[in-house]
């Protein structure tokens, strides 16, 4: 009997008008091993399964392949041709912005956690062209974001959001975390603003002040972070459950959401975006 496990990486690519995300993953349940590429655009989502042996990841750098498709911190190169999806092209990444330290903090060292998160780049530059079902997506100084997850299941209840804005990039994830016989609300979030990192996390004593009606408010010391999903634009994605990609989740890769950041008595920013990415599974 095999170990239940998954690992996946999320590449968000945005130009002035379009957003595309690619999710490359390998997964194994007690009885099955496989790997997959998922693609989500403003209009539709796709899932392509591959034999487990198609997935290769290098140990000494962030570089992986599935068949002839390349996913790394330097580029994405795609050659896909199925009955419903054809993709050809290359996107080149530059000027990545990793975090100052692991987003999981001390939780990265705890074994047997249901799901652990990583952030490879909060914001970087993208250039290149992809053709998806004969539609060209052109990236000229576009924006990119890369994150990853590993474990055996996605949290039963969680919210996640990411958004670029004029001077930076932000992400927030709030989830119900099983821990032995107990549960707790786990928080990880980062605001990258003018190259300065503001971090929210359970291990930094962040607390959820509000979590309903698609709005979440986080407080940590003198900082308050508010996010609200205003208008969904959901497409279906598959997520792991005990290592098996059988759970259906809903992601709005490009939707309307609002964000507010307050530090002390000063409102650092408050804006609404039409290009936010959001998952709300409460």
pLDDT tens figures, 34-87: 999 999 999 999 999 999 999 999 999 999 999 999 999 999 999 999 999 999
What confidence score (pLDDT) does residue 111 get? 86
Q: Cα Rg for the chain, rounded, in angstroms? A: 18
Q: State which residues form the domain around 28.
A: 5-280
Query: Are 197 and 190 spatial neighbours (Cβ–Cβ below 8 Å)?
Result: yes
What confidence score (pLDDT) does residue 161 get? 98
In angstroms, how far apart are the furthest CA atoms of the chain? 56
Regarding pTM above 0.95, the answer is yes
What confidence score (pLDDT) does residue 1 get? 60
Residue ranges of the alpha helices (H) in 14-64? none
Tokens of 145: 């974001």
pLDDT in tens, 95-140: 999 999 999 999 999 888 999 999 999 999 999 999 999 999 999 9
* Average pLDDT of the chain to the nearest whole number: 95
Q: Which residues pair with 269 in a beta bridge?
A: 261
Check pLDDT > 70 for residue 274.
yes
H-helix or E-strand spanning residue 23: strand 19-28
Report the candidate in 212, 222, 147, 120 with the shortest Cα–Cα distance to residue 174. 212
Check pLDDT > 90 for residue 246.
yes
Query: Are 158 and 119 spatial neighbours (Cβ–Cβ below 8 Å)?
Result: no
Query: Are 70 and 61 spatial neighbours (Cβ–Cβ below 8 Å)?
Result: no
Query: Are 12 and 39 spatial neighbours (Cβ–Cβ below 8 Å)?
Result: no
Q: How many domains does the chain have?
A: 1
Query: Are 45 and 263 spatial neighbours (Cβ–Cβ below 8 Å)?
Result: no
Per-residue confidence band for 3, with pLDDT thresholds at 50, 70 and 90:
confident
Q: How many CB atoms lie within 10 A of CB 71?
A: 22
What confidence score (pLDDT) does residue 45 get? 97
Average pLDDT over residues 241-262: 96
């Amino acid at each position: 009997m095999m170990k239940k496990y998954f690992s996946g990486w999320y590449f968000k690519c945005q130009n002035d008008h379009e957003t595309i995300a690619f999710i490359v993953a390998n997964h194994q349940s007690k009885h099955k091993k496989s790997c997959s590429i998922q693609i989500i655009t403003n209009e539709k989502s796709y899932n392509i399964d591959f034999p487990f042996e198609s997935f290769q990841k290098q140990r000494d750098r962030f570089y992986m392949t599935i068949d002839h498709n390349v996913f790394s911190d330097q580029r994405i190169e795609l050659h896909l041709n199925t009955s419903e999806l054809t993709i050809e092209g290359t996107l080149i990444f530059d000027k990545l912005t990793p975090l100052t330290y692991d987003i999981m903090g001390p939780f990265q060292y705890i074994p047997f956690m249901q799901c652990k998160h990583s952030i490879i780049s909060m914001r970087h530059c993208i250039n290149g062209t992809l053709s998806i079902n004969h539609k060209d997506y052109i990236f000229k100084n576009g924006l990119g974001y890369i994150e990853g997850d590993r474990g055996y299941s996605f949290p039963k209840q969680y919210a996640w959001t990411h958004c670029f804005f004029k001077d930076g990039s932000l992400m927030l994830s709030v989830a119900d975390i099983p821990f032995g016989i107990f549960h707790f609300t786990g928080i990880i979030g980062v605001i990258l603003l003018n190259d300065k990192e503001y971090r929210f996390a359970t291990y930094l004593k962040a607390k959820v002040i509000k979590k309903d009606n698609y709005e979440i408010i986080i407080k940590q010391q003198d900082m308050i972070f508010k996010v609200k999903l205003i208008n969904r634009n959901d497409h279906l994605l598959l997520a792991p459950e005990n290592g098996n990609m059988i759970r259906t989740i809903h992601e709005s890769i490009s939707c309307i959401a609002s964000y507010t950041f307050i530090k002390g008595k000063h409102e650092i920013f408050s804006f609404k975006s039409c290009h936010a990415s959001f998952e709300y599974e409460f």
